[in-house]
Amino acid sequence: MISFELDVEDLADTRFAVSPLHETVVALRVLRDPGLSALHLPWRRAALAALDPSDLRLLRALVSDRRTLPDVLTPRPGEFAPAFDTELDLVRRAPGALVLRDLEAAHAPDPLPGVLLGTPPDDLRDTICDALRRFWELAVEPHWRQMRLVLEADMTYRARRLALGGARLLFADMHPDLRWRDGVLHIGRMISHHHVTAAGRGLLLMPSVFVHKPSPPLSPDEAPSLAYPCRGVGTLWEPAPPPARSALDALLGASKVRLLVLLAEPLPTVEIARRLRVTPSAVSQQLRILHATGLVSRARDGRQVLYRRTSLGDGLIDP
Reported as a pLDDT band with limits 50, 70 and 90, residue 249 is low
Calpha distance 184→7 (Å, rounded): 9
Backbone angles phi, psi at 182, to 5 degrees: 50, 45
Into how many domains does the chain fold?
A: 2
Decide if 238 is inside a domain.
no
Same domain, 124 and 23: yes
**Pairing between strand 204-208 and 267-268?**
unpaired
Average pLDDT for 284-306: 87
3-state DSSP of 35-90 = HHCHHHHHHHHHHHHHCCHHHHHHHHHCCCCCCCCCHHHCCCCCCCCCCHHHHHHH
Q: What is the pLDDT of residues 88-136, one digit of tens each?
A: 999 999 999 999 999 999 999 999 999 999 999 999 999 999 999 999 9
Domain with 259 in it: what CATH number?
1.10.10.10
Of 233, 267, 286, the last residue of a domain is 233
Cα–Cα dist 314/299, whole Å: 18
Q: Are residues 75 and 168 in the same domain?
A: yes
Residue 215 lies in a domain: yes
220 and 285 share one domain: no
9 and 157 in a single domain? The answer is yes
- pLDDT at residue 291 above 60? yes
Question: 303 and 202, same structural domain?
Answer: no
Average pLDDT, the chain: 91
Distance CA 114, CA 99 (A): 16
Domain match, 136 and 257 both: no
Same domain, yes or no: 87 and 220: yes
More confident residue, 252 or 224: 224
What is the distance between the terminal CA atoms of the chain, rounded to a whole angstrom?
57
* 241 belongs to a structural domain: no
Residue 290 burial by CB count (10 A; 0-12/13-18/19+): exposed, middle or buried? buried
**Domain endpoint, select from 206, 233, 260:** 233
Per residue in 218-240, pLDDT (tens digit) is 999 999 999 999 998 887 877 65
Distances (CA, A) of 58 to 25, 55, 64, 113: 12, 5, 12, 9
pLDDT computed for residue 244 by the predictor:
46
Structural domain harbouring 281: 246-317
Q: Is residue 239 part of a domain?
A: no
Specify whether 207 is located in the same domain as 138: yes
Within-domain flag for 95: yes
140 and 257 fall within a common domain: no
With respect to residue 272, please indicate whether it lies within any of the assigned structural domains.
yes
Domain boundary among 168, 198, 233: 233
Residue 114: predicted pLDDT: 96
- Do 210 and 297 sit in the same domain of this protein? no
Residue 287 belongs to a domain:
yes
Q: Give the pLDDT mean for 277-282.
A: 86
Whether residues 194 and 280 fall in one domain: no
Residue 275 lies in a domain: yes
Please indicate, yes or no, whether residues 113 and 226 belong to a single structural domain of this protein: yes
pLDDT of residue 319: 55
Q: What is the pTM of this model?
A: 0.76
The whole-number pLDDT of residue 255 equals 82
Using one digit for the tens of pLDDT, what is the confidence trace for 159-207?
889 888 989 999 999 999 999 999 999 999 898 899 999 999 999 999 9
CA dist 140 and 144 (Å) reads 6
User: 59, 148 in Cβ contact below 8 A?
Assistant: no
What pLDDT is stored for residue 245 in this prediction?
A: 52
